[in-house]
Amino acid sequence: MGRLIIDPDLCVACRNCLLACAVDRHSLAKSLHGAQKESPQQPPRLRLDLYGKGSMPVHCRHCDPAPCIAACPTWAMHRDEDGMVSYDDGACIQCFMCVASCPYGACWQSEDGARVLKCDMCPNREVPACADACPTGAITYEQASSNESPDPAEVTHR
Domain ranges of the chain: 1-59+121-158, 61-118
Query: Under CATH, to which class is 61-118 assigned?
Result: alpha beta
Using the predicted structure, report yes or no on whether residue 48 has a pLDDT greater than 60: yes
By the 8 A CB rule, do 74 and 91 touch?
yes
What is the reported pLDDT for 157? 46
Non-local (6+) Cβ contacts of 109 within 8 A are 96, 99, 115, 116, 117
**pLDDT over 80 (residue 63):** yes
Q: What residues does 57 pair with on adjacent strands?
A: 48
Q: N- to C-terminal Cα distance for the chain?
A: 19
Round to whole Å and give the CA distance between 105 and 154: 15
Instruction: Give the CA-trace dihedral at 155, 18, 144, 150, to 10 degrees.
Output: 20
What 8-state DSSP symbol labels residue 57? E
* pTM for the structure as a whole: 0.80
Domain 1-59+121-158 classified CATH 3.30.70.20?
yes
* Mean pLDDT for all residues in the chain: 86
Q: Which H or E run includes 85?
A: strand 85-87
Residue 134's pLDDT is 96
Please check the confidence at residue 158 and state whether its pLDDT lies above 70.
no
